[in-house]
Structure 1
């Protein structure tokens, strides 16, 4: 049974996504080549600075265009949502075939529309969830950079292309280092996401109630409210799980921002200019753009960068990088959302009070 028509999601997304910036064939080739090179360079800087090491051999980044990013994310969604799809298929009271067929197509169009919106904005990402490799030879994750969006951003801001590309690579490579250097982290995120999905309420009355709440949220956000659809569609059990997911994603995003800015001054000469212009760009956009970002929870993600970076900055400043890296010991040493807001409480719990010198 297919809960989402994935082929329709890809078709819809690639049809709706806006074309990238106009570049010549040579400019495109040069951008792809440079991004691959800089991703390898950035990985060395990140490993040296973070002191996170791994047995995994460095891999060049995968460079994609906007439709390529959509296709890659649909494949990732299929992997993530497989437990929920299996649950619906094996339910004692599955929905009628006509309901599933129509519903899967509607959802496919919706997923495609959301991906089309995001595909023109995402600069890069570390893809945690890929279809399993039958040979077992391919890595479990993949770093993807969206070349047209990087070129568009550097042109829009008027910054040095080489510096901006390396700066972006520093952030995204930090995620690759996190998930390849901390072996349990990927499985922890996957298990939490599976638990989140399986905690959903699938009965029709509850679903209808959630949809009404979602409609109210859309109306409120259009009027300038602060809600988002992610909050509305959760069950009570999911809220606790999402709290844990939010904490770990705030940590990894904030760590990426911290490393990007800490390493930046030594290898990216114009990092101060880039950071200032990029921060302004994050806050900008049309009213419609800001409304959609708020609905999809993207504004929450922007807040995560700042909160996570402040947490990492405070902890490293007080206990050093070696002390901070105790955060990667196990899921028990990850910070809670409350500890991210109060780094001292995480230090007290995990690091403890340092002994006074003799």
Structure 2
């Protein structure tokens, strides 16, 4: 880990975009210990068995037909950064395009602060460096904390590319040790959770396009002259939030019924760990919306537990039949309204 090298990478940010993504990735890796990937043969088989068992068990319990991605990778932290820079770039691309368009506004090529003036050029360079540093910080923080990830490759350049399933091995080992829990059991729990996401997207082939369209619609208002919160499409972002709450909540409910061991202690200890840490960690979690994600788990899980208890677990899976079956934010807090509307 080399903080000076990370800062140097950020300070050398260049190009015409709002973020220098190559420098952001390099800076994130420079400030992050990659961790060891020295897996034993037993550990490699353990990951494979966990994913295989999760797929069989989840399919049996949920009544869903799905495949796990061909791309299943056990990664170190640098591998995760390399795999995630492109995802961040794709998600940010519409906002970058809008921001770049707005920088063209001003007092003309030679005017003070105009795009062709020294002041305007300096301002853009400083902004690019700041944005690159922000993204490097986010990538580095997440790389040190992500345990597993199902990647549906939203907004990917190749929409038919295989989805990914990643496990960040050094983080899984380190967190299991810090929580004083059995490492193979903890690894298996992470595998089950990520495979539940594969089950959702496998059962709902329309879901990636639905999420992509809400992201794209959500930033359509960010045109030159409208780069404000008021320019955002609140309806699209509301639908996106409701869909992601359903994704997280269904996974939590399904884990309750499918994981082959009690895991309340794992959840409690992991939540306590997330609530601990110094002020920098707490600030990073707030800025990255990790507290909001936890609330998504809780609200969504409560919705699906109510549905499953009332009509059975297969009725809860009806939400993935078509986009019209997704609950609204109001229905997430009033599952009986969803049951009346959809009648699974």
State the TM bucket, normalised to the shorter chain.
0.7 to 0.9
TM-score in terms of structure 1 length: 0.78
Distance change in 2, residues 1:87/1:276 (3 Å): closer
Could you tell me which of 240, 247, 258 is aligned with 2:242?
247
Of the structure 1 ranges 276-285 and 112-121, higher mean CA displacement relative to structure 2 is found in: 276-285
Could you tell me which of 111, 127, 130 is aligned with 1:103?
127
Quote the residue 1:273 is aligned against: 265
Question: The residue matched to 1:199 in structure 2 has which SS?
Answer: coil
Distance change in 2, residues 1:70/1:259 (3 Å): same
Q: Equivalences for 1:128-143 in 2 at 5 Å?
A: 128-129=152-153, 131-133=156-158, 138-139=161-162, 141-143=163-165
Q: Displacement, 1:104? A: 3.2
Find out whether 1:38 has 2:50 as its counterpart.
yes
Q: Displacement, 1:60? A: 5.6
Q: Displacement, 1:118? A: 1.5
Q: Displacement, 1:328? A: 1.6
Question: The residue matched to 2:19 in structure 1 has which SS?
Answer: coil
Task: Select the structure that is richer in helix.
Answer: 1
Question: The residue matched to 2:150 in structure 1 has which SS?
Answer: strand
CA distance in 1, matches of 2:241, 2:213: 14
Quote the residue 1:238 is aligned against: 233
Quote the residue 1:257 is aligned against: 252
Find out whether 1:121 has 2:145 as its counterpart.
yes
Quote the residue 1:310 is aligned against: 302
Could you tell me which of 324, 333, 343 is aligned with 1:341?
333
* Structure 2, gaps ≥5 residues long: 1-15, 107-114
Quote the residue 1:153 is aligned against: 175
RMSD: 2.8
CA distance in 2, matches of 1:281, 1:322: 34
Quote the residue 1:190 is aligned against: 212
Quote the residue 1:25 is aligned against: 38
Question: The residue matched to 1:335 in structure 2 has which SS?
Answer: coil
Could you tell me which of 182, 199, 204 is aligned with 2:221?
199
Distance change in 2, residues 1:32/1:238 (3 Å): farther
Distance change in 2, residues 1:118/1:36 (3 Å): same
Question: The residue matched to 1:62 in structure 2 has which SS?
Answer: strand
Q: Displacement, 1:33? A: 4.3
CA distance in 1, matches of 2:149, 2:206: 19
Asked if 2 retains the 8 angstrom alpha-carbon contact of 1:315 and 1:343, the reply is: yes
Asked if 2 retains the 8 angstrom alpha-carbon contact of 1:80 and 1:129, the reply is: no
Of the structure 1 ranges 335-344 and 57-66, higher mean CA displacement relative to structure 2 is found in: 57-66
How many pairs does the alignment contain? Answer: 315
CA distance in 2, matches of 1:332, 1:26: 44
Distance change in 2, residues 1:14/1:324 (3 Å): same
Find out whether 1:326 has 2:339 as its counterpart.
no
Find out whether 1:10 has 2:25 as its counterpart.
yes
Of the structure 1 ranges 5-14 and 35-44, higher mean CA displacement relative to structure 2 is found in: 35-44
Of the structure 1 ranges 243-252 and 32-41, higher mean CA displacement relative to structure 2 is found in: 32-41
CA distance in 2, matches of 1:52, 1:202: 45
* Structure 1, gaps ≥5 residues long: 211-233, 353-358
